[in-house]
């Protein structure tokens, strides 16, 4: 059954910051291939250019995406549908599980701390020895993310 709604009793709100995690079908490491990963990143940038979601931070791991963003237009399920559909189309194959995990970030939470934790994922997964060696991440607080 396709996932079209947020978790029960949740709603998406324009201007709210969300941390979203979504996983590939069967945890297939599609994004170990850099070209495929860059196509997903291009779709994140397109959503920002279209005023749908402002990306604060992302890290695209071989089999999942962590995305810290500000919802600007539409609703979260629609933005996720666009991201997943467009990236799958660009790559030419089914990529994503239908569901995703979302966390509406509260005002008191430290966004920079969340970003540092997210971009350290490739280090914790032993994919690289330095985050600067991992190509599929970005953060608006670039220097802070590197020094975390």
Sequence ranges of the domains in the chain: 17-140
Segments in the chain forming alpha helices (H): 34-49, 76-91, 111-119, 121-124, 142-147
Cβ contact 118:131 at 8 Å: no
Helices 34-49, 76-91: inter-axial angle, 10-degree rounding: 140
Using the predicted structure, report yes or no on whether residue 3 has a pLDDT greater than 50: no
Give CATH superfamily name and number for 17-140.
Answer: Transposase IS200-like (3.30.70.1290)
Using the predicted structure, report yes or no on whether residue 46 has a pLDDT greater than 70: yes
Strand 64-71 relative to strand 53-61, pairing? antiparallel
**Number of helical (H) and strand (E) elements in the chain, helices listed first:** 5, 5
Using the predicted structure, report yes or no on whether residue 10 has a pLDDT greater than 50: yes
Q: pTM to 2 decimals?
A: 0.88
**Which of 72, 85, 84, 87 lies closest to 18 in space, CA to CA?**
72
Of the pLDDT bands very low, low, confident and very high (cuts 50, 70, 90), residue 108 is confident
Of the pLDDT bands very low, low, confident and very high (cuts 50, 70, 90), residue 4 is very low
């Amino acid at each position: 059954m396709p996932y079209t709604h947020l978790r029960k009793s949740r709603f998406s709100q324009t201007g709210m910051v969300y941390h979203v995690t979504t996983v590939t079908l069967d945890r297939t490491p599609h994004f170990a291939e850099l070209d495929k990963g860059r196509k997903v990143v291009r779709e994140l940038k397109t959503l920002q250019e279209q005023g749908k979601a402002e990306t604060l931070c992302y890290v695209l791991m071989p089999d999942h995406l962590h995305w810290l963003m500000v919802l600007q237009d539409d609703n979260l399920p629609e933005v996720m549908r666009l991201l997943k559909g467009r990236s799958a189309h660009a790559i030419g194959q089914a990529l994503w599980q239908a569901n995703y995990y979302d966390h509406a970030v509260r005002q008191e939470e430290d966004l920079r701390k969340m970003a540092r934790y997210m971009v350290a994922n490739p280090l914790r997964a032993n994919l690289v020895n330095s985050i600067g060696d991992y190509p599929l991440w970005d953060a608006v607080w670039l220097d802070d993310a590197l020094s975390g």
